[in-house]
């Protein structure tokens, strides 16, 4: 089932995700710890409510990262084309 995220929910997700370095920073000591990462996801879920689960969060983060990379690559290509 596809979950519709409100802008507010996506913003809460991004803000909370940023506070849990073990989810996104490979140099963090707990980056490879499944139990620490799961606990971080649970803390994010506590902020978002019952509408989502860990899989939903992972999918949304992946989607946001993909969108960012697409825009970043376009901007990079445009900068290169200008030179």
In a domain, 1, yes or no: no
Distance between CA atoms of residues 1 and 5, nearest Å? 13
C-beta separation of 17 from 23 below 8 A: yes
Residue 67 placed within a domain: yes
Flag whether 63 is in a domain: yes
5-14: average pLDDT? 96
Give residue 31's domain range: 7-82
Closest listed residue to residue 16, CA positions, set 59, 52, 46: 46
Q: How many domains does the chain have?
A: 1
What confidence tier does 2 reach under pLDDT thresholds 50, 70, 90? confident
The answer to whether residue 2 sits within a structural domain is no
pLDDT of 48 > 90? The answer is yes
Residue 39 resides in a domain: yes
CB 52 within 8 A of CB 45: yes
Q: State the average pLDDT over residues 19-43.
A: 98
Our measurement of the distance from residue 83's CA atom to the centroid of its chain's CA atoms, rounded to an integer in Å, reads 33
In a domain, 24, yes or no: yes
Give the chain's mean pLDDT.
Answer: 94
């Amino acid at each position: 089932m596809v979950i519709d995220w409100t802008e507010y929910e996506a913003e809460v997700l991004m803000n909370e995700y940023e506070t849990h370095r073990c989810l996104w920073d490979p140099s963090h000591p707990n980056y490879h710890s499944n139990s620490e990462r799961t606990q971080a996801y649970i803390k994010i879920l506590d902020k978002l409510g019952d509408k989502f689960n860990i899989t939903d969060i992972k999918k949304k983060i992946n989607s946001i990262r993909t969108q960012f990379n697409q825009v970043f690559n376009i901007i990079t290509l445009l900068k290169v084309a200008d030179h």
